[in-house]
Amino acid sequence: MSIKPLLLAIVVACLNATTAHADDFYKGKTIRVIVGGSAGGGFDIYTRAMARHMGKHIPGNPAMIVENMTGAGTLIAAKYLHSNAKPDGLSFGLFNGALILGALGNKSIDFDMRELEFLGVPVQDSTVCALRKESGVTNMDQWFAAKTPIKLGGLSPGNSTSDVARIIMAALNLPVQLVEGYKGTNEIRLAADAGELHGACWAWETLRTAWSKAIPAGEVNVVLQVTAKKILELPNVPMSLDLAKTDEARQILRAGAIDPAAIVRVYVTSPRTPKDRLQTLRSAFAKTLTDAEFIAEAKKATLDINPLTGEEVKKIVDELFKLTPSMRTKLAGILAPK
């Protein structure tokens, strides 16, 4: 036998052995999928859709059960996955990736986010701010001129719903009153519909579903895009970068809101998970997002798919921790609860 066929045979044998090992481990097991958000919210909807299809892409076809773990703007879920879940490949989950940026100045985050093992992101968020018509604000000119602050809902410091509100308030000098403590975006929507809030800022990918009837009816208006590129469906809605008056304001918008939006829906598993099981989960995660049945379900539910791999997420996280000291200090001051 020549060297090349021999090497190929060895590689195939190793792959078969890895698959067989994974099959032996996962067969008959149940994987817990932790959602750092409430039932019915955007994080929950994506996760339950994925969980219905992901098991078949894991050797041994384990069962998957989704559990909601709310609180502290998804920080409770993040800390559980980092510090409490067994590193055995039988649990993974989702928290708001804006917490990773929040770790730069949030003293309540007492663990290193970079130690988590990243599985990937199903969709990169395109953040928008939407207000109910009762707010009296249907465009940015009216918001800038508002005599009283616009009430925006948020979960807590470190969560993108709260952080984006703080960032646009600082960078654009907008009148904003941030009301925090909600368990998820579904609760924020309900509070706005009940008149407790004027609106909120979160991902267009799920906001348009949450207010699928209210937006076309003119009951809710999308007034601002906090994005690097204009959303095609919102050609007449201004971008925050275009409204910023200084280079520093644009830097704050990018570093504090726009760049972290790519990893808001970040799925992770625990540090020290065995490498073979980590690769099994990463592979299954990626395959699920190209699974024909999942894509059909996502299309029916108007769930966008614009993924990042676990390796790509890690690169973004590493870059966030390379911000200049002056920008880190500036962001920490803006994002800190007042």
Mean pLDDT over all residues of the chain? Answer: 91
Gap between the Cα atoms of 199 and 158, Å rounded: 19
Nearest-angstrom CA–CA distance, 81 and 8? 38
23: Cβ contacts below 8 Å, ≥ 6 apart: 59, 60
Which residues are bridge partners to 43 per DSSP?
none
pLDDT recorded at residue 101:
78
Number of other CB atoms surrounding residue 248 within 10 Å: 13
pLDDT for position 98: 84
The predicted-structure confidence for 62-104, as pLDDT tens digits, reads as follows 999 999 999 988 999 999 999 999 999 999 999 999 888 767 6
- Which CATH number is associated with domain 127-260? 3.40.190.10
**HSE of 282, CA atoms in CB hemisphere, 13 A:** 19
Q: What is the structure's pLDDT at 147?
A: 95
Q: Is the pLDDT of residue 170 over 90?
A: yes
Q: Do domains 3-124+263-324 and 127-260 have the same CATH topology?
A: yes
Tokens describing residue 319: 């870059």
Checking if the pLDDT of 2 tops 50, the result is no
For the chain, the farthest-separated pair of C-alpha atoms sits apart, in whole angstroms, at 83
Q: Nearest CA to 47 among 102, 210, 104, 39? A: 39
Q: Which of 231, 277, 308 is nearest to 21 (CA)?
A: 277
Q: pLDDT above 90 covers what percent of the chain?
A: 76
Give yes or no for residue 41 having a pLDDT over 60. yes
Domain ranges of the chain: 3-124+263-324, 127-260
Tokens 């998957």 identify what position?
Answer: 64
The residue ranges of DSSP E strands in the chain, in sequence order, are 30-35, 63-68, 91-96, 117-121, 127-132, 150-153, 176-179, 199-203, 220-226, 265-269, 308-309
Torsion of the alpha carbons at 97, 101, 105 and 108, rounded to the nearest 10:
10
Q: What is the pLDDT of residues 268-287, one digit of tens each?
A: 999 999 999 999 999 999 99
Residue 225 carries which side chain, given as an amino acid letter? Q
In the sheet with 117-121, reading across from the earlier edge strand, the strands are 63-68, 30-35, 91-96, 265-269, 117-121, 308-309
Residues 308-338 have pLDDT tens digits of: 999 999 999 998 888 888 998 899 899 887 7
Lowest mean pLDDT among 27-31, 151-155, 158-162: 158-162
Q: pLDDT by residue (tens digit) across 123-150?
A: 999 999 999 999 999 999 999 999 999 9
CB < 8 Å & 24+ apart, contacts of 323-332:
323/104, 323/255, 327/251, 327/252, 327/255, 328/104, 328/105, 330/248, 330/252, 331/101, 331/104, 331/105, 331/252, 331/255, 331/256, 332/104, 332/105
Residue 6 has pLDDT above 60, yes or no: no
Q: Which residue has the higher pLDDT, 2 or 107?
A: 107
Tokens of 225: 């895009």
Q: Please choose, from the candidates 139, 157, 114, the residue with its C-alpha nearest in 3D space to the C-alpha of residue 234.
A: 139
Please, are residues 74 and 133 in contact by the beta-carbon 8 Å criterion? Answer: no
User: What's the whole-number mean pLDDT along residues 9-28?
Assistant: 59
Whether domain 3-124+263-324 has CATH 3.40.190.150: the reply is yes
CA angle 274, 275, 281 (to 5 degrees): 95
Summarize pLDDT for 185-212 with one digit per residue, the tens: 999 999 999 999 999 999 998 899 999 9
Closest CA to 57 of 284, 296, 221, 270: 284
Q: Per mean pLDDT, which range of 44-58, 283-297, 322-336 is the poorest?
A: 322-336
User: Whole-model pTM?
Assistant: 0.77
- Mean pLDDT, residues 245-252: 96
For residue 14, pLDDT beyond 70 = no
pLDDT at site 24:
85
The span from the CA of 187 to the CA of 182, in Å, is 6
Distances (CA, A) of 329 to 102, 104, 165, 241: 12, 9, 18, 21
